[in-house]
Amino acid sequence: MITPRVPTGIAGLDEMLAGGFLPGTANLVEGAPGTGKSTLAMQFIEHGITAHGEPGIILTFEEFPEHLIRDAANFGWDFAAHQAAGRLRVIQTSPEVTLADVRRTSGRLETLIEQIGARRVVVDSLSHFERLAADPVELRLLGFELINALKRMGLTAVLTRENPALLGETSEGDDDLAYVVDSYLLLRYVEIESAVHKALLVLKQRGSGHATDIRQYAITARGLEVRSRFAGTHGIMSGTPVMTHTEAFAAAFLTPGKK
């Protein structure tokens, strides 16, 4: 039996996810500033609307909708037209208002989902929940509550979260939410030979297989493009990988022009 999927429209990523996210799941995309979390999320919404006729909602806690719509236009995604056609709603709000709204019956979000028939939602970004609670346990419960509310409403969600570490390992205790979400995608900067590359890893996908290798990706004029896996290096997720013994040997002795 083939499990239905909710494709992101990002070719290499859907392949890593065995076809896409599972319907009605909460999917965390974490990365440092500029790694393309919001672009990935917008692409997920754009693809839903244009390729699958699935209206979407974007809850933005930071970037103003007018800027987000402008950014989307730079990738050729006409969010203004989607909004005018009732296929998309970009809502500027805050974690406290969102939580208060989803806790009540027939709240603003629930009503909107009914009105436009929304199937996909983006929450950008979950990092803003951190100002609601200093205690990590309470914070995790708040995240759990939001995720369950979105699932109750039948939505497939992409939730972004900032990771302040540009390169290197993340600090412990940052990943409480990782237990709660259904899939967890990590976007990282990687330094290789004095150049910064971008790496994507699917850390988990509950209820489904997924690729476990680390892939290169780029933010192009059409959005994210996931490319081949990193070859010849290890320690990619540390941010500063080193060559494998074979590659190091080849670079030192076999590459033309090197002595």
Q: Using an 8 Å Cβ cutoff, are 45 and 241 in contact?
A: no
Which residue from 12, 3, 11, 44 is spatially nearest to 27, judged by alpha carbons? 44
3-state SS, residue 89: strand
Positions in the binding site for other proteins (CB under 8 A): 64-66, 89-94, 96-97, 100-101, 103-104, 107-108
CB neighbour class for 95 (10 Å; exposed up to 12, middle 13-18, buried from 19):
buried
C-beta closer to other proteins: residue 19 or 65: 65
Residues ≥6 apart with Cβ < 8 Å to 48? 6, 9, 54, 55, 56, 119, 120
C-beta closer to other proteins: residue 130 or 191: 130
Hunting for tokens 């203004």 — which residue is that? 80
C-beta closer to other proteins: residue 81 or 100: 100
Rounded-to-integer distance, Cα 178 and Cα 85, Å: 35
C-beta closer to other proteins: residue 7 or 107: 107
Residues ≥6 apart with Cβ < 8 Å to 158? 8, 21, 27, 29, 40, 41, 44, 120, 121, 122, 123
Least spacing, CB of residue 171 vs other proteins, in Å: 27
C-beta closer to other proteins: residue 103 or 222: 103
C-beta closer to other proteins: residue 108 or 151: 108
Tokens found for residue 131: 């100002």
Rounded-to-integer distance, Cα 163 and Cα 161, Å: 7
Rounded-to-integer distance, Cα 129 and Cα 230, Å: 34
Q: Using an 8 Å Cβ cutoff, are 163 and 30 in contact?
A: yes
Rounded-to-integer distance, Cα 126 and Cα 143, Å: 8
C-beta closer to other proteins: residue 46 or 182: 46
